[in-house]
Amino acid sequence: MPYDLWYWPQIPGRGEFVRLALEAGGIAYRDLARAEGGLNALAADLRRPRAQPPFAPPYLVADGMTVAQTANILLFLGERHGLAPGGAAGRFWVNQLQLTIADAVAEAHDTHHPVGVGLFYEDQKPEAARRAREFRDARLPKYLGHFEQALQGAGPWLAGEHWSYADLSLFQLVEGLCFAFPRRMAGAEREWPGVMALRGAVAALPELRHYLGSDRRLPFGDGVFRHYPELDAA
């Protein structure tokens, strides 16, 4: 039985972190909201009564369970399909890194939605400019510096000799930051050489090559990562 993935069909968003793990792990899944009429199907599925309801997409229906929250889905896939170390130290380390990546993703999102997710960007542009400046100057380098440090203690991957789902997610975070903040990220190879080398190594993974070149790989568009030139600076 293939797993069923549910996520907003128009953007890669948080669903893409799950997709990368499914694709790199060679795990069969149906991307249900991306079929024709998928958005309506997702809306209907979200209204279905469930004993263990998701708060929001993405969620994965697998073995009769509904598993939601990106980092939780990845923990599940990591355990079931060997996409993370099996021992306690490696397993909690990869989960810890994933949660820090999730925090960075949320803060990248909030650069264009600092006042509220229910409002348009156009209704919060001055606030976004302030928040984006703090993100570029303080938070982005703090996060990427942390992952650089984590790679120095291990390597070539975050949890040692084999890639884990956290490596795929760090790749996706960096891709998103390069899309949203190209001027800020222009010197990234010099500032965080390990992180940028890992990004290249994930992009070159034989397990992902077909997917990354396919039309299943969505452009960032107006999702979690957005490119507003006025929010970017070197």
Nearest-10 crossing angle of helices 70-81, 15-24: 10
Q: What is the dihedral of CA 169, 190, 148, 82, to 10 degrees?
A: 40
User: What is the closest distance, in whole angstroms, from the C-beta atom of residue 167 to its own copies in the complex?
Assistant: 15
Pick the piece of the chain touching its own copies (CB under 8 A) from 27-35, 108-116, 188-196, 206-214: 108-116
Give the type of residue at 176. G
Pick the piece of the chain touching its own copies (CB under 8 A) from 19-27, 28-36, 70-78, 200-208: 70-78
Pick the piece of the chain touching its own copies (CB under 8 A) from 2-10, 11-19, 31-39, 123-131: 123-131
**By three-state DSSP, how is residue 29 classified?**
strand
Binding to its own copies by residue 8, rule CB under 8 A?
no
Give the one residue of 11, 61, 68, 231 binding its own copies; rule: CB under 8 A: 68
Measured between alpha carbons, how far is residue 142 from residues 103, 116, 124, 137, 148 in Å? 12, 24, 25, 9, 10
6 and 33 in contact (C-beta within 8 Å)? yes
Give the one residue of 124, 205, 212, 228 binding its own copies; rule: CB under 8 A: 124
- Beta strands 3-6; 29-31: pairing state: parallel
User: What is the closest distance, in whole angstroms, from the C-beta atom of residue 41 to its own copies in the complex?
Assistant: 21
Residues that bind its own copies (CB under 8 A): 50-55, 65, 67-69, 71-72, 75-76, 88-89, 92-93, 95-96, 99-100, 103, 106, 110, 114-119, 124, 127, 130-131, 134-135, 138-139, 143, 146, 149-150, 153-154
